[in-house]
Structure 1
Amino acid sequence: MIVGLRSLAARWTTVVPAGAAVLLAFTWGRTVPGAVVALVTLVLAGVVLAAVHHAEVVAHRVGEPFGSLVLAVAVTIIEVALIVTLMADGGEKSATLARDTVFAAVMITCNGILGLSLLVASLRHGTAVFNPEGTGAALATVATLATLSLVLPTFTTSKPGPEFSSAQLTFAAVSSLILYGLFVATQTVRHRDYFLPITRQGEVIHAEDHADAPSGRTAGLSLGLLLLALIGVVGLAKGVSPTVESGVAAAGLPQAVVGVVIALLVLLPETIAALRSAHRDRVQTSLNLALGSAMASIGLTIPAVAMASLWLSGPLVLGLGAVHMVLLTLTVVVSSLTVVPGRATPLQGGVHLVLLAAYLELAVNP
């Protein structure tokens, strides 16, 4: 029996995603009572850890930057499905859900994940070292996508309010896909070395030398379990979202807080994976995850909600308010100053985390 328990414990990364899928099947579309919410939260934490494990297995097999790209795209695709589903169920009150969730994802990735990664790496290794060429290209793409999709709608005049007209929304969606496609091609084909971890002497690390890569069968199994785990993360997050929404309303908090909670939940796997990479002094991998997730969140969400708006009733508000535009501008400026030297100290990590704290504070107390 003891051997059986140990065997089960060793296979927890397989058991937990499967258990999450079963729990999701029983809770989907139903009102979840408080006791079940507690169980869902516990399973949610376990499935996040399982997702990180399987993402690292896949990343080790395919190498960087493909590994971080797999996790970022997988999480974002399922995040988009969650946003569209909630928009379809939410009616008028979900008009700003896409904007709030995407902007929350940008702030969490560009300040939270990036700041924590720099802080962990610099505290452990003295300084955090990364490639400014690849990271700068990623940051420029994120800044352009965020401005086109979240800032311009506030100033356009073809349609009342901070909304795009149909033609403008189509342009933003196509531009987002083109820019994201160009970045992926640059990251994985033409200039792949710019996105690989580097040594403290500036030499590119082409392969990890601490362990043999897993077999194709193992990596394929982990890829399937990763997708199952991510479906569990987002599906269970949707299951508890009514509880979150009612809690937000009961506390008298703005509706935008719901978008923040959704983004925090779905970005947990990337956050943990980035921190593990930073702890191993693979800061470039951490930054690939952070900026790649921000880019995928905008580049895939905006086209998806543009398509969904064809059959969803109600407005689609994408334009940011003045306070959030100031925070976005400050984030881009500070991130640029962080990226240019190619190395960072705990100070840079702390600055980004303060920006995230300011965003969270203003989300709760606008």
Structure 2
Amino acid sequence: MARAPTSRIPLHTALLPPAGVAAWLAFGQAGLEPLALLLAAILLGNVLAAVHHAEVVARRVGEPYGTIILALAVTVMEVGMIVALMLTGDPNPSLMRDSVHAAVMLVVHGLAGLCIVVAAIRHRQAEFRVEGANAFLAVLIPLATLVLVVPNFVVSVPGPFYSPLQLGFVSLACLALYGAFIFIQTGWHRDFFLPAGGDSAPIAPPSGRIALASLGLMTLALLSVVTLAKALSPAVLEGVRAAGAPVALVGVIVAAIVLMPESGAALRAAAANRMQSAINLALGSAVACIGLTVPTVAAVSWWLDQPLELGIAPGGTVLMLLGFLVAIITYGTGRTNLLSGIVHLVLLAAYVFYIFAP
């Protein structure tokens, strides 16, 4: 039996997008530090509002277009934040590398680990489809390797950089892999990503009026996120420097903000014993992060004539590949338990620790 469709728009998701644009117009370019916390709160609210409205539109249009809309909404937010920081102060060629690396580690270990622990505490063991989890890993592992590891070993350009030709090829490869994954997920093998018993309570689509209003509010919310990110960029960079933290922490902040809405949805799904939905949300966000963000930011960097430092350090490479090996073991049985969740959380802790103590 279908659950009731969305019949109204929550008030806060309707008020936050115009409030974000108004705040940016009024204060965003003034550089007033006392307002930084207020602008940050409005930005985070608009991240949540944008994803909410994207989900409403996605339910209206159905698959595969709904998945594409959700991915594009998250990508616009991440790209907007990265480009805003790229345009602020001194060039930061490693920003995209740090944010993509952080997104992979936060998803594979942080979000997935928390989902496994929550499901284990509530239900002891959680079941999911091995085929779906393996499909995510089959795309995520080569994407992460091509973007974050291979640049350290090519010889056309010294250092952890790609030549323009190589970066163009990798960008096309990311798009091709993401497109092929979307085709499989929404077409030929859609059942790989559904619960074993099917969707017992599908969500009925919202009305056309609600969907159209959400489309407009989603666009406004994304505009608010991008503009407020640009306004807050100097404060973020200055705060990281003032705290004596590594610059790589900026990438972690960007990734955490972008992943925040999907994290809440994934944890709720895990608590309700819907581990397949939690995996779809968690690993799907990492696949979209690399598959769509890297080509977009690469195009912007070419237009701005700014290099992109992509290769991660040897220690980070070992830790990331170890994480993928553990993920293969975790998702290879179709069941998760508390131990596997704790292992993933320990690996996340190691990643964060080595940012501050490389």
- TM-score past 0.5 threshold: yes
Check 1:29–1:266 CA distance in 2 against 1; reply closer, same or farther (3 A cut): farther
**For structure 1, which runs of at least 5 residues remain unmatched after alignment?**
1-8
**Does 297-306 or 160-169 show the bigger shift?**
297-306
1:101 aligns with 2:99: yes
Counterpart in the other structure of 1:6 = none
Quick one: which of 233, 246, 250 aligns to 1:241? 233
Note if contact 1:24-1:236 (Cα within 8 Å) is conserved in structure 2: yes
Counterpart in the other structure of 2:292 = 300
1:157-172 to structure 2, matched below 5 A, reads 157-172=155-170
Note if contact 2:50-2:221 (Cα within 8 Å) is conserved in structure 1: yes
Q: Distance in 2 between matches of 1:183 and 1:57?
A: 23
Note if contact 2:54-2:73 (Cα within 8 Å) is conserved in structure 1: no
Note if contact 1:72-1:270 (Cα within 8 Å) is conserved in structure 2: no
1:180-259 to structure 2, matched below 5 A, reads 180-196=178-194, 198=195, 202-205=196-199, 208-209=201-202, 212-259=204-251
Name the SS of the counterpart of 1:267 in structure 2. helix
Counterpart in the other structure of 1:3 = none
Name the SS of the counterpart of 2:157 in structure 1. coil
Q: Distance in 2 between matches of 1:285 and 1:25?
A: 39
Residue identity opposite 1:208 in structure 2: A
Check 1:223–1:10 CA distance in 2 against 1; reply closer, same or farther (3 A cut): closer
Question: Which whole-Å deviations, capped at 9, do the CAs of 1:149-196 have from their partners, x for residues lacking one?
Answer: 110001111111111112211111111111111001111111111112
Q: Distance in 1 between matches of 2:148 and 2:183?
A: 24
Check 1:312–1:54 CA distance in 2 against 1; reply closer, same or farther (3 A cut): closer
1:43 aligns with 2:42: yes
Residue identity opposite 1:182 in structure 2: A
Tell me the percent identity: 48
Q: Distance in 2 between matches of 1:178 and 1:80?
A: 19
Q: Distance in 2 between matches of 1:253 and 1:60?
A: 41
**For structure 2, which runs of at least 5 residues remain unmatched after alignment?**
1-8
Give 1:340 deviation, angstroms: 1.0
Check 1:307–1:50 CA distance in 2 against 1; reply closer, same or farther (3 A cut): closer
Question: Which whole-Å deviations, capped at 9, do the CAs of 1:333-353 have from their partners, x for residues lacking one?
Answer: 111111111121122222222
Check 1:313–1:56 CA distance in 2 against 1; reply closer, same or farther (3 A cut): closer
Note if contact 1:68-1:289 (Cα within 8 Å) is conserved in structure 2: no
Note if contact 1:148-1:172 (Cα within 8 Å) is conserved in structure 2: yes
1:1-366 to structure 2, matched below 5 A, reads 11-34=11-34, 36-58=35-57, 60-61=59-60, 70-92=69-91, 94-196=92-194, 198=195, 202-205=196-199, 208-209=201-202, 212-366=204-358
- Superposed CA RMSD in Å reads 2.4
Note if contact 2:89-2:234 (Cα within 8 Å) is conserved in structure 1: no
Give 1:58 deviation, angstroms: 4.1
Note if contact 2:184-2:190 (Cα within 8 Å) is conserved in structure 1: yes
Check 1:176–1:45 CA distance in 2 against 1; reply closer, same or farther (3 A cut): closer
Note if contact 1:68-1:288 (Cα within 8 Å) is conserved in structure 2: no
Question: Which whole-Å deviations, capped at 9, do the CAs of 1:84-128 have from their partners, x for residues lacking one?
Answer: 332233443x11111111111111122222222222223223322
Counterpart in the other structure of 2:5 = none
Note if contact 2:147-2:170 (Cα within 8 Å) is conserved in structure 1: yes
The alignment covers a number of residue pairs equal to 350
The TM-score with structure 2 as length reference comes to: 0.89
